[in-house]
Structure 1
Amino acid sequence: MSTSRGARQPTIKEVARLAGVSPMTASRTLAGGRNVRPDLQERVLAAVRELGYYRNENARSLRPGQPSGLIGIAITNLANPYYGNFALGVEEVAAEHGRRIILGNTGEDDARERQLVSDFIGRQVDGLILVPVSGDAAHLKPERLGEVPLVLASRRVPGLDVDTVLLDDVGGAYRGTVSLLDAGHTRIGFLGNRSSVFTGERRFRGYEQAMTERGVPVDPAIVARDQQDVAAASLAAKAMLDRDEPPTAIFSANNRNTIGALREIGRRIREGRSGPRPAIVSFDDFELSELMPVPVTVIDHDARLLGREAATLLFSRLDEDVAVPARTVELPVSIEYP
């Protein structure tokens, strides 16, 4: 498959024409907006969004049709070691194909994801691997990306038919919750990220399914689903454990929520406070999990393998001479007991 761009990209002159400004004003706006009135900048940026214009950062160094040798990777949380391992997996496969990676962080923000994808396309990447924010997908449509292949990792985006690598989120969360129920727990809290996040929704579904099948009601008072970082998770765990009927166990939908819960439990232990020390099931392993103050069961999988699988799909797509339907790979998870 050729890496040349089959879909013509808009030019800066077309952006300027739509915005009603000169090409020089449009270029200055995209270079930072120095000495350009704010109202003119707004018109230029609106035209950029409407046309799907991308700055070509490599235009001076690449001949037409020449591949850049770069693979763009967009992740949601650069501070999470999980994504470092994921990127290493992508890099290993990229190196086998003589490519290099460039890495960006979206912070679970739609606007940052759009800008990052725009930057990658401007650098004429050969392919994209994205852990999507799961918001508006207009910037990921083929008419915006041209012939740049896209692979989604860990999450799916509604309405986007592209190669995707997922985990068995529902099955893993179900099995982890069942392990708590089998241990005699019926007051099981849930810590997770917001429900609009693909993995958060699937993992809550597995938790809810296990509870429902055992006839154990899900108490909304001990369900918290909006934590994107450790600090927020600590506060959510504190609110749960301060209740008159605190949970005796917690299912945590990702490792940042797990660490937040453990920080709160550890704080209570250091202060000598009485009360339950809930058992924890964590979806995703995390650093020093074996040294925690309470038993932690880990629903484990290999983040590096996830990256390798995503990269393998991408290079398969780059090497294909004819179009084939989008493929989905679902990787298994395992349960590691303390």
Structure 2
Amino acid sequence: MAPGTRQPTIKEVAASAGVSPMTVSRTLAGGVNVRPDLQAKVLAAVKELGYFRNENARSLRPGQASGLIGVAITNLGNPYYGNFALGVEEVAAKHGKRIVLGNTGEDCGREAQLVADFIGRQVEGLVVVPSGGAAEHLRADRLGDTPIVLASRQVAGLDVDTVLLDDVGGAYQGTLSLLESGHTRIGFLGNVPSVSTGQRRYIGYEKALAERGISPDARLIQRDQQDVEAARSAMERLLDLPDAPTAIFSANNRNTIGALKEIGRRIRSGAGATGFPAIVSFDSFELSEMMPVPVTVIDSDARQLGREAAELLFARLQAADSHGPSRMIELPVTVSMADR
């Protein structure tokens, strides 16, 4: 569905699938009393036509706006994204709108379904922290006239308004602080390379090492952790190396918490509280000032990130040319040692 193109109807979906409109409605309502082969035809037609079920059709008068902004984040359990959502909500309220919040769990399929649900509820715009997987569901030909702003992460090939942090610069400064403290074996904990923040922060880490003539040691690089437990296991592997790293650069706060959980486990088992790597954490985290090892935090204002994303969205909603060139904002970060 290209920008400015009308939404396909249930009758058109039915015609494409070779079934009745009632069969389409029953399939979209859960498939009760609809044969699996017919459901498959309906769902294929829905995908091909870019149809979104209109959840608000009964409650909205013709031409009436929903007053809703859809916000998709990757991890509701991460306080960082809770503060981000508050920033979006603050700006939305200023414009007399409300937000509808959803969690994707870093899963592209869940993200696509959530966006479809938002469009079905006739949200006026979308703010999305993308999962980093395939993103066909975020493209203009699928969203039609619904504007979208990406926050925290980019998606390759998707030319839309985006608000980022200074990931490269922050990672560079954090890694440089470890190098200036005398560390040369610096491990890297990060999420999957397809997530743009993980890739950008790795670039900053690698840049700092290169300036000191140090080539990254593949044994010290752990890049596939999407949750705390995976990060703990990755830290365990690093600490079990015969020549373990003396410092760790952690690309996000979930990786940092996982690393500290493994250090805490070893301390409780009698390993003592010394001899563990110093840690640089991109993003602050709960109780960072009470950790058993020195933690340098690369911090940012999550609420400001949300505000900036929402301001871009409302500027797009209010613009005479809502399909003008995309805009990019990069917010600064700060590097500071947590209080001890």
Q: How does 1:138-217 map to 2 (within 5 A)?
A: 138-217=136-215
Name the counterpart of 2:33. 35
| Unaligned residue ranges in structure 1 (runs of 5+) | none
Shift of residue 34, structure 1, vs aligned partner: 1.2
Question: How far apart, CA to CA, are the structure 2 residues paired with 1:217 and 1:320?
Answer: 48
Name the counterpart of 1:294. 293
> 1:137-174, CA deviations, whole angstroms, 9 ceiling, x for partnerless residues?
22222222121111110111122211110000000000
Question: How far apart, CA to CA, are the structure 2 residues paired with 1:7 and 1:124?
Answer: 15
The normalised TM-score by structure 1 is 0.96
Match of 1:85 among 74, 83, 90: 83
Runs of 4+ in 1 over 6 A off after TM superposition: none
For 2:336, the aligned partner's letter is E
Name the counterpart of 1:310. 309
Which range is displaced more, 87-96 or 128-137? 128-137
Question: How far apart, CA to CA, are the structure 1 residues paired with 2:78 and 2:330?
Answer: 22
Question: How far apart, CA to CA, are the structure 2 residues paired with 1:109 and 1:11?
Answer: 29
Q: Does 1:337 align with 2:340?
A: no
Name the counterpart of 1:65. 63
For 2:237, the aligned partner's letter is A
Shift of residue 124, structure 1, vs aligned partner: 0.5
Question: How far apart, CA to CA, are the structure 1 residues paired with 2:310 and 2:295?
Answer: 31
- Percent sequence identity is 72
Which range is displaced more, 99-108 or 140-149? 140-149
Question: How far apart, CA to CA, are the structure 2 residues paired with 1:211 and 1:67?
Answer: 52
The normalised TM-score by structure 2 is 0.96
SS at match of 2:170: helix
SS at match of 1:335: strand
Does the CA contact (< 8 Å) of 1:52 and 1:139 recur in 2?
Answer: no
The count of corresponding residues between Structure 1 and Structure 2 is 334
Question: How far apart, CA to CA, are the structure 2 residues paired with 1:172 and 1:141?
Answer: 30
What is the CA RMSD across the aligned residues, in angstroms? 1.2
Which range is displaced more, 190-199 or 323-332? 323-332
For 1:47, the aligned partner's letter is A
For 2:287, the aligned partner's letter is L
Question: How far apart, CA to CA, are the structure 2 residues paired with 1:98 and 1:253?
Answer: 36
Name the counterpart of 1:281. 280
Question: How far apart, CA to CA, are the structure 2 residues paired with 1:207 and 1:150?
Answer: 30
Does the CA contact (< 8 Å) of 1:149 and 1:318 recur in 2?
Answer: yes
Does the CA contact (< 8 Å) of 1:77 and 1:108 recur in 2?
Answer: yes
Shift of residue 40, structure 1, vs aligned partner: 1.6
Question: How far apart, CA to CA, are the structure 2 residues paired with 1:93 and 1:136?
Answer: 29
Q: Does 1:319 align with 2:333?
A: no
Question: How far apart, CA to CA, are the structure 2 residues paired with 1:90 and 1:72?
Answer: 10
Shift of residue 217, structure 1, vs aligned partner: 2.2
Name the counterpart of 1:255. 253
SS at match of 1:221: helix
Does the CA contact (< 8 Å) of 1:251 and 1:281 recur in 2?
Answer: yes
| Unaligned residue ranges in structure 2 (runs of 5+) | none
Question: How far apart, CA to CA, are the structure 2 residues paired with 1:104 and 1:19?
Answer: 30
For 1:72, the aligned partner's letter is G
